Structure 1
Amino acid sequence: TLATAVFPEPIIEPIRLHVPAKRYLCAVDAQYWSGLSDGSKISLVKQGGPMTEREIDDFELDPSYEAAVRLRRIDDRAKILDLEVPPLSHYAEAVFSLLTAPIQR
């Protein structure tokens, strides 16, 4: 894909694991589940529901699982109304450095 051609695996994997991270958090953190919107709870059912113990164990073996969980929690904060964040230009240097860095596979 274009994303994998441009970004290194440590960037792509947490994004790819976005739904599994949601399923994981719902299985291991009761507060996470209770904080989901009704729509997100409905989509969770369609996504397989909270992980089973076996799925949790397998997910925790993935080298990117912690980054995926962190990204999921960051993404959840995007739903906070009136949260002040830096302008997009604040992130330009970091994005540019990722785009111009050699891809390590």
Structure 2
Amino acid sequence: MMPSPVRKAAHWAIRGYQLSLSGLVGRQCRHLPSCSEYTDEAIQRHGFWPGGWMGLARICRCGPFGTHGIDLVPETLPEGAAWYKPWAYGRWRGVNAPPISCEAVETDGG
């Protein structure tokens, strides 16, 4: 499936930011992936309108009193989100971290 012209334009605008302004501001994102990578992936996966709102919510959570750590773009759109209530697309609190597997948890040998 070919990405729409709007998605391509958004991708290149984000890429332009990453190659220019991001270097001047410094890498200060508190999340993995970075806010610009998150927004780009959200737009490519879910479309410009929902993905843009997801990215805006992520940027708002990236401040000094916001969230931090691994935060992945959700596989599906949030339940109840619609074009006429765009704020419902974004996660305004918390992160979408991958589940911790049993193998990743270290146990005490005793």
Task: Return the TM-score normalized by structure 2.
Answer: 0.27
Higher relative contact order (CA 8 A, sep 6+): 1
Task: Return the TM-score normalized by structure 1.
Answer: 0.28
